[in-house]
Structure 1
């Protein structure tokens, strides 16, 4: 084997070891999420407030399903019905989902900026082991609470992909459904949330 082939084999072996190490330690999700934040920075994945919403015609806005309940990180049950009258930002995510991890810093900034008396955040983890979501949130230092479903999600909130984000206005109408990652910490989106009070 010549020196060039041997060098290439060593380089490929090293890359394989690095990727295997990331995969088996679980850090591959965070590394991919970090890389996907670069895509978010371009703005091409932002929620399309013209396409993802039903704001043009009030008659086409579906009524939100408030029959859901959640368990928070302290083990307390929270009924969605108790949030009626607030704008609800509902994000369905998982710790193993790189796009979910990518959008979390922006969601946390949005959470810190909004009026908590008017907007409720439900960061709904679909991890099989909810403790993973609790540990992830704690390790990252995010300010929002994480939740697990306390039962089956109503069909209105079942999506074939995650992350999926829903916004329910204060009158109880589902006004936004965005499938895939998004940058929610934008002036336009913050104004959109305020318009839903």
Structure 2
């Protein structure tokens, strides 16, 4: 009787242990391989697809804030330029990092926006805040993004300070910040494309 009882106990104990090992093991593997960022980004991408997270484009809702062009930009291959060099164009400025799931989640929409926008009138500045530019470079290559990516080459002007990323700014040709959006958003929407096009034609 005793020998028949204990094997059953051991057998029933194996299932909870196996289940807990699975629940703990999968996240650990994802974290150690760096895939957790992509998994979380994929889940948040589903949320973006609902169309609920759209940036505010009603520029009349608040007084515009003057932009600060005093920012040196470094391309991911080390070449230097500046925000000032883009003055006179509409500027789409996005603060992001390779370790940030919501940043990665909104990037396909930004890539679509970049591909369908007249870049002679609208400049894209995807500003990586990664300490190591190689991480940003590898993400760009792996995801096949073609929008211009940079890292800061000087101190960030206070007007672009943000406690969270992603944060996106749209600067008008007149040098005014007409959009400031903290958090991810669907920038590939027809509504936002029309807004950007109208702003560039003013």
User: TM-score, normalised to structure 1's length?
Assistant: 0.93
Corresponding residue to 2:18 among 4, 10, 13:
10
2:197 is equivalent to residue 189 of structure 1: no
Q: Which residue of 1 aligns with 2:115?
A: 112
What are the residue-to-residue correspondences of 1:27-42 with 2, within 5 Å?
Answer: 27-42=35-50
Q: Hey, what's the Cα distance between the residues in 2 that align with 1:178 and 1:89?
A: 11
SS state at 2:151 partner: strand
What are the residue-to-residue correspondences of 1:1-197 with 2, within 5 Å?
Answer: 1=9, 3-50=11-58, 54-56=59-61, 60-197=63-200
SS state at 1:196 partner: helix
- Where does the alignment leave 5 or more consecutive residues of structure 1 unmatched? none
User: Moved runs in structure 1, 4+ residues, more than 3 A?
Assistant: 1-5
Alpha-carbon displacement from aligned partner over 1:51-105 (angstroms, at most 9, x marks no partner)? xxx4346xx2111100011100121111111101111000000010000010011
Structure 1 pair 38–61 and aligned structure 2 pair: CA distance change class (3 A): same
Q: Hey, what's the Cα distance between the residues in 2 that align with 1:145 and 1:188?
A: 23
User: TM-score, normalised to structure 2's length?
Assistant: 0.91
Q: Hey, what's the Cα distance between the residues in 2 that align with 1:56 and 1:37?
A: 28
- Where does the alignment leave 5 or more consecutive residues of structure 2 unmatched? 1-8
Structure whose alpha-carbon radius of gyration is higher: 2
